[in-house]
Structure 1
Amino acid sequence: MRASVLSDWLAQRLDRGNGLPIYRQLHRLLQQAILTRELPAGSKVPSSRLLANELGIARNTVTQVYEQLALEGYVTSATGRGTFVADTSPDEIVGSTDGQTAPVSAPVQQLQQALPPTHSKSPLHAQQPAARALSQRGSRLIAGAGVSKRQWGAFMPGVPDVTRFPARVWSRLHNKYWRRLRPDLLTYAPGGGLSLLRHALADYLRTSRSVRCTPEQIIITTGIHQSVDLAVRLLSDPGDVIWTEDPCYWGVRSVMHVSGLKSRPISVDDEGINPSPDDLAHPPKLILVTPSHQYPLGMVMSLARRRMLLEYARQNQCWIIEDDYDSEYRYGSRPLASLQGLDTAGQVIYVGSFGKTLFPGLRIGYLVVPEALAESFATASAELYREGQLLQQAMLAEFIAEGHFTSHIRKMRTLYGQRRSTLLDAAARRYGDALPAVGGDAGLHLVMQLPEGTDDRAVAAAALERNIVVRALSGYYAQPSRAQSGLLIGYACVPDEEIAPAFDTLADAIDATLPLFA
């Protein structure tokens, strides 16, 4: 492109009335011309004086633009010769219409020789490269993703009522720490997390969950996903086998998919995970369980099954990862003691989170690891994730120490119990015993069973069309042959007065999908 042509091209595109500085417009336009090969590599650009005169702008503006383009690698300058478009493409034929060429570095020449030539004569009309395929584990992750675009409203499972969170107390603590700001709370977290929170959490877990631990055994994370990811990274190698409950939480299964582990789905019965003789004959490296409230079906692991699992893990040197899901919310009975509290061999990794007890956006979870592993886990957490949120951790520590945490749980347990009863009543009025509900004695959701062979995904899609969010139970199974049909119905985040009308809307979707109720 000759100087006069370039000046005309730029003049047509500069807009002196749009509020964007001329400097930025000129810089962007010259970038565009170079990237689209309107200005091919090696071509000489007009002098700053000439271009400024042609465009009617200050020469300093053009000079600054050229300097910025040079810093970014778009142009190069040769003393006494002028400014040239840099060779940024390995297959570009460097040259210009006036016979002058820009210097080409040896590394660029080597790269040009190593790469195959392109077949497009005009870079302006070159086809875009084909989208690169995901890796195998990336493809598995996306194909099995269970994350929902909706995270609130009837009947989103696993979401607490964040409107009942004691915001005034939290705001007071927030203001207190900002008024007395300590610089060490605004930097990266030490390995394991803030000591103040670890001490407060150790006291709480010992008294409420029968977890046997010291503060040093607690590692603060951003939630269950990161906790499980850290445990998997430190306790297993790619190709190792992990037992997972079938069905199980889709998020944990996704962590397994990208970890390189071989997941072996183990069926569950009324007493929890139920390995077959063939399963027991092939010990895994890791066993992941939700003994206090199996997710998503809701059964509690019996004491006999717990003792069997612990003894099996001891004999075969397996690690057990205990996800203490929804353990605080039991209706009609006290929360059950943790599996970790029965462990005498130091083989259980206990994980928990504040996402359900406080609010999901807090993004604070924790692991309790055997004493011998505590230092390694703390170091690895800091090395891999470079944690922060120390200000939030300090606020949470004081929130727990002042008794607000246990008080909030008691209040929410009563509230969620009432909402559970309201939902069960609404279901009974509509369907009687035709569609039984299971797993409703604890947690934040129940499972409504559908007739065998029902396409529960179609029912969930029909409900979503009516602005009701439920999850298809079959999607939680790793083995389709075992999958049962049902709907996960969350009640925690639905106001009492909205539960019955919302269930009627859900029932309309069920009736429209199932011939049995049409």
Structure 2
Amino acid sequence: MPADSEALGPQFDFLLQEPLTRARGGDSLQKQLLHRLRAAVLDGRLPAGSRLPGSRPLAEGLGVSRNTVTLVYEVLSTEGYIEPSRQGTRVAALARPEPADRGHQAPATLARRAERIRERELVGADSHAFAPGVPALAQFPLAAWRRSLDRVLVRGGTGLLGYGPPQGEPALRTAVLHHLALARGMRCAPEQIVITEGAQEALSLCVRLVTDPGDTAWVEDPGHRGAQTALVGGDLAVVPVPVDAEGLRISASDWRERPPRLVCTTPAHQYPTGAVLTASRRLDLIENCRRYGAWIVEDDYDSEFRHSGEPLACMQGLTPGAPVFYVGTFSKTLFPSLRVGFLVLPEPLVDRAAPVVDELLRGGHRHEQLALAHFMESGQYGRHLARMRRLYRRRRDALRVALAEHFDVPHTVTGGDSGMHLTVRLPPEAADLPLARAARRHGLAPRPLSQHCLIPDAAHNGLVLGYGNTPESAFVPGLRRLARLAGDPDRPPEVSGLAGPP
């Protein structure tokens, strides 16, 4: 039976007022006692120097076994809350932090570079209609992928559970090498290829390899939010460079007045406008980067889906030893949660960068990497790309027709020669951000064009409409709904959305 407070001392009333319980599924007696004593030390109910009862009287007073109390005392002693000695066990002297309301709380601030990163606007479900950058997930050949995974699991077993090579599994690097040679006409050596956790890690790795905080970086404006985030996260001075129908527009004064250390561009299919960087501008960019000691990040995020003519040549192979980092991803060609991308290092940088990469990265996702290597070398990847090219070309055409016939808001469509999205420019009265917010409440996920500018700019007013994961049957009702919302963004949400498997 529990003793009264006189047996243990009045300072232990908090243990007697609410007895320890043996409730089924609840914390053990040992854990309950440990939490109560620890909390009493931290909040000052048991001040420094207070003497604790011996294990036997405390066990008798609480109606628990002496072993329970002994184990609790051992834990508290190990953690430094109490100090046992021959003269008894006492509460240790602790430096207790002041309560937050006394004005001594640490300032809740992030690092300057982290504070500069803008919150992503309107992140919606991949299944919502018009979500950009999402491939046709329902069309992915899961059975073939499962066979590749099973093959790796059977052959590799537990031997693949440890860390892998930091630059990625050799089999996948070789498969990427073969794919780039065939699909992009690229010439590079295996040691130039680094497997990354998506394109975002590849972008961040470029920043870490060749820039120092405060260096100047150029980024397309409007442009890829991931590139903007990587540059800002590297604490760089980020300069927005305008984009026109021929891609990144750089003047001679730009080079003289604010030369960069790094230039991020999407030359084959500018994101999000769809412009193609012309050959003359590509060569001019490479030449000036050599002259000023700058590097280029070529983000080739969806070049596999060229809808007319032959695939465009990549900048990386335009001239020997070009100062170009080439970034690719499987998130657009396969599925986003795979989180596998790759980086092709510039040839002049390989010897110096390789040991740094080995220290910065830790090889992982070995089963997925090896399964992907088999998926590519077996021909499944090429066949899937061919099917998706046909599908996306059909969806692109259908969306253009639906826009012309059913979207009665004045607009101009840009892009569409590649990829999985169209950009629709809108008049100022149809402000894109309120419209996109309203669309999200109705199960639609277009992205506001203005939010792709480094500083949101009303001059770039429009919507980025993804069609990769949106079935053609959703185009007309989705566009009609967008048109109604453009006139009244405050319309209450409808009961049924447009989400669903394409």
Residue 275 of structure 1: SS of its match in structure 2?
Answer: coil
Instruction: Check the 8 A contact 1:291/1:322 in 2, yes or no.
Output: yes
Q: Which moved more, 1:445-454 or 1:457-466?
A: 445-454
The reply to whether residue 209 of structure 1 matches residue 184 of structure 2 is yes
Which amino acid counterpart does residue 15 of structure 1 have in structure 2? T
Would the aligned equivalents of 1:456 and 1:487 in 2 still touch at CA under 8 Å?
yes
**Residues 127 and 4 of structure 1, relative CA distance in 2, 3 Å threshold:** farther
* Residue of structure 1 in register with 2:20 after alignment: 14
Deviates more, 1:257-266 or 1:330-339: 330-339
The amino acid that maps onto 1:300 is: V
User: What letter is aligned with 1:74?
Assistant: Y
In structure 1, the partner of 2:44 is 37
Change over 3 Å in CA distance of 1:279–1:453 after alignment to 2:
farther
For residue 65 of structure 2, what is the aligned residue in structure 1?
58
Q: What SS is found at the alignment partner of 1:500?
A: helix
Deviation at 1:181, TM superposition (A): 2.5
The alignment partner of 1:32 has SS state of helix
Q: Secondary structure at the match of 2:374?
A: helix
> Residues 146, 383 of structure 1: CA spacing in aligned structure 2 closer, same or farther, 3 A cutoff?
farther
CA distance in 1, matches of 2:459, 2:40: 57
Deviation at 1:374, TM superposition (A): 2.3
1:295–1:325 contact (8 Å) kept in structure 2: no
Distance 2:428 2:319 in 1: 39
CA contact (8 A) 2:167 2:361 kept: no
Indicate conservation of the 8 Å contact 1:212/1:341, yes or no: yes
- CA change 1:90–1:512 in 2 (3 A) is closer
What is the CA–CA distance in structure 2 between the aligned matches of 1:301 and 1:149, rounded to whole Å?
Answer: 30
Deviation at 1:391, TM superposition (A): 1.5
Q: 1:178 to 1:306 in 2, by over 3 A?
A: same
Structure-1 residue corresponding to 2:263: 287
Match of 2:31 among 24, 27, 43: 24
Structure 2 unmatched ranges of 5 or more: 491-502
The answer to whether the Cα contact below 8 Å between 2:296 and 2:325 also exists between their aligned partners in 1 is: yes
1:430-467 CA distance string (max 9 Å, x none): 23682222112211111111103642111111111212
Aligned to 1:255: 230
Are residues 1:72 and 2:79 paired? yes
Match of 1:195 in 2: 170
Aligned amino acid, residue 438 of structure 1: T
Residues 383-409 of structure 1: CA distance to partner in whole angstroms, max 9, x if unpaired? 123231122111111111001111111
Give the CA deviation at 1:301.
1.1
For structure 1, list consecutive stretches of 5 or more residues without a partner in the other structure. 92-117
Q: TM-score, normalised by structure 1?
A: 0.87
Note the 1:93-172 alignment, pairs <5 A.
129=105, 131-141=107-117, 143-146=118-121, 148=123, 150-172=125-147
Query: 1:491 matched to which residue of 2?
Result: 467
Where does residue 497 of structure 2 map in the other structure?
Answer: none
Which amino acid in 2 is paired with 1:319? W
Query: What residue identity is the alignment partner of 1:84?
Result: R
Look up the equivalent residue of 1:331 and give its one-letter code. Answer: H
Aligned to 2:92: 86
More moved, 14-23 vs 190-199: 14-23
Deviations 1:195-233 (A, max 9, x none): 111111101101101111111110111122111111111
State the match for 2:293 in structure 1.
Answer: 317
Matched, 1:238 2:245: no
Where 1:410 maps in the other structure, the secondary structure is helix
Distance 1:505 1:482, change over 3 A: closer
Partner of 1:467: 443
Distance in 2 separating the partners of 1:493 and 1:5: 68
Cα pair 2:113 2:232 within 8 Å, conserved: yes
Alpha-carbon distance in structure 2 between the residues aligned to 1:39 and 1:503? 67
User: What is the deviation of 1:125?
Assistant: 8.4
Q: 37-46 or 167-176, which moves further after superposition?
A: 37-46
CA RMSD of aligned residues (A): 2.4
Structure 1, 373-382 or 51-60: larger mean CA deviation: 373-382
Contact 1:449 1:486 in 2 (8 A): yes
Which residue pairs with 2:499 in the alignment?
none
The amino acid that maps onto 1:310 is I
Give the direction of change, closer, same or farther, for the CA distance of 1:358–1:71 in structure 2 (3 Å limit): same
Structure-2 residue corresponding to 1:113: none
SS at match of 2:182: helix
Counterpart CA distance in 2 for 1:281 and 1:445 is 36
- Note if contact 2:11-2:45 (Cα within 8 Å) is conserved in structure 1: no
For residues 73 and 131 of structure 2, the distance between their equivalents in structure 1, rounded to whole angstroms, comes to 55
Q: State the match for 2:493 in structure 1.
A: none
1:164 and 1:219 map into 2 onto residues whose CA distance is 28
CA distance in 1, matches of 2:193, 2:122: 28
- Partners of 1:369 and 1:253 in 2: CA distance: 20
1:219 touches 1:377 (CA, 8 Å); kept in 2? no
Cα deviation digits, residues 208-264 of structure 1 (max 9, x gap): 011111111101111221111111111122222111111111121111112121112
Higher RCO structure (Cα 8 Å, ≥6 apart): 2
Calculate the TM-score normalised by the size of structure 2: 0.90
In structure 2, C-alpha distance between the alignment counterparts of 1:495 and 1:217, rounded to whole Å: 39
1:339 aligned partner: 315
Contact kept in structure 1, 2:200 and 2:226, CA below 8 Å: yes
Residues 444 and 5 (structure 1 numbering): CA distance in 2 closer, same or farther, change over 3 Å?
A: farther
Q: 1:274 matched to which residue of 2? A: 249
Is the 2:46–2:91 Cα contact (8 Å) retained in structure 1?
Answer: yes
Distance 1:17 1:407, change over 3 A: same
Equivalent residue number for residue 431 of structure 2? 455
Inter-partner Cα distance in structure 2 for 1:71 and 1:335: 65
Question: Cα deviations across residues 3-36 of structure 1 (Å, max 9, x unaligned)?
Answer: 3445542240522224221111111222222222
Which residue of 221, 229, 240 corresponds with 2:196?
221
Once residues 147 and 261 of structure 1 are traced to their aligned partners in structure 2, the CA distance between those partners, rounded to angstroms, is 26
